[in-house]
């Protein structure tokens, strides 16, 4: 079976999208479903290409047992053909990404990650923590985790993955 290919996208590819990628892998690992996915992260900008994730993102991820090691890369045209789902962090990313897509039939692959957050309350942005504090990275972690749990539920509802039955 083909893997489900998912790309997380933010502006710099050093804070939110590497965190979302790490959290997603950690979440599906808990269901032993990691073999079903190919996951990557990219930035709309080239600001930090080749850099490791921001040390504050690394620190909050490590607190939850998640290692972040990917080097930043910029979103490329071929990503729109390759990935089944492109999950962006905020409306600015959404505008940037959708304006780059030449083949408009691929638009339906683009989602705001936070549209899967059960507590989003009509705010569908994962806030940019770059100019923030450790607490902002904690908040981003929690938002991404809730959103990714929602996204995994969405994949299960679509019949694309099967989650273990909760007998509790
Ligand atoms: P990210 O955060 O998009 O979540 O990786 C940012 C990283 C760098 C910058 C902005 C946001 N920057 O302006 O350099």
Beta bridge partners, 85, equal 6
The predicted structure's pLDDT at residue 33? 97
Tell me, yes or no, if 16 is annotated catalytic: yes
The predicted structure's pLDDT at residue 165? 78
Region label for 77, one of left (φ > 0), alpha (ψ between -120 and 50) or beta (otherwise) = alpha
The predicted structure's pLDDT at residue 100? 95
Ligand 1, atom nearest to 13 Cα = 5
Distances from the Cα of 134 to the Cαs of 54, 66, 74, 104, in angstroms?
A: 11, 16, 25, 38
Note the Cα 88 to chain centre separation in Å: 7
pLDDT (tens digit per residue) in 75-134: 999 999 999 999 999 999 999 999 999 999 999 999 999 999 999 999 999 999 999 999
Calpha distance 122→7 (Å, rounded):
23
pLDDT (tens digit per residue) in 6-65: 999 999 999 999 999 999 999 999 999 999 999 999 999 999 999 999 999 999 999 999
Q: Could you tell me if the CB of 88 is within 6 A of ligand 1?
A: no
Residue 167 pLDDT class (50, 70, 90 cuts): low
Is the pTM above the cut of 0.85? yes
In the predicted structure, residue 166 carries a pLDDT above the cut 90: no
Tell me, yes or no, if 128 is annotated catalytic: yes
Q: How far is the CA of 112 from the centre of ligand 1 (A)?
A: 17
Tell me, yes or no, if 10 is annotated catalytic: yes
Between the two ends of the chain, the Cα-to-Cα distance in Å is 31
Would you say 112 and 102 are in contact if contact means Cβ atoms under 8 Å apart?
Answer: no
């Amino acid at each position: 079976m083909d893997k489900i290919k998912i790309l997380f996208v933010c502006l710099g590819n050093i804070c939110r999208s590497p965190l979302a990628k790490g959290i997603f892998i950690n979440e599906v690992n808990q269901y032993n479903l990691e073999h079903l996915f190919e996951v990557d992260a990219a930035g709309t900008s080239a600001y930090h290409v080749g850099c490791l994730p921001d040390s504050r993102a690394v620190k909050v991820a490590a607190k939850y047992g998640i290692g972040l090691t990917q080097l930043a890369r910029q979103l490329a045209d071929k990503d729109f053909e390759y990935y089944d789902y492109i999950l962006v962090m905020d409306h600015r990313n959404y505008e940037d990404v959708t304006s780059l897509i030449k083949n408009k039939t691929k638009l339906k692959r683009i989602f705001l990650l936070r549209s899967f957050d059960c507590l989003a309350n009509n705010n569908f942005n994962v806030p940019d923590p770059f100019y923030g504090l450790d607490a902002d990275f904690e908040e981003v972690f929690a938002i991404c985790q809730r959103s990714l749990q929602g996204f995994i539920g969405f994949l299960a509802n679509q019949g694309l993955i099967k989650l273990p039955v909760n007998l509790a």
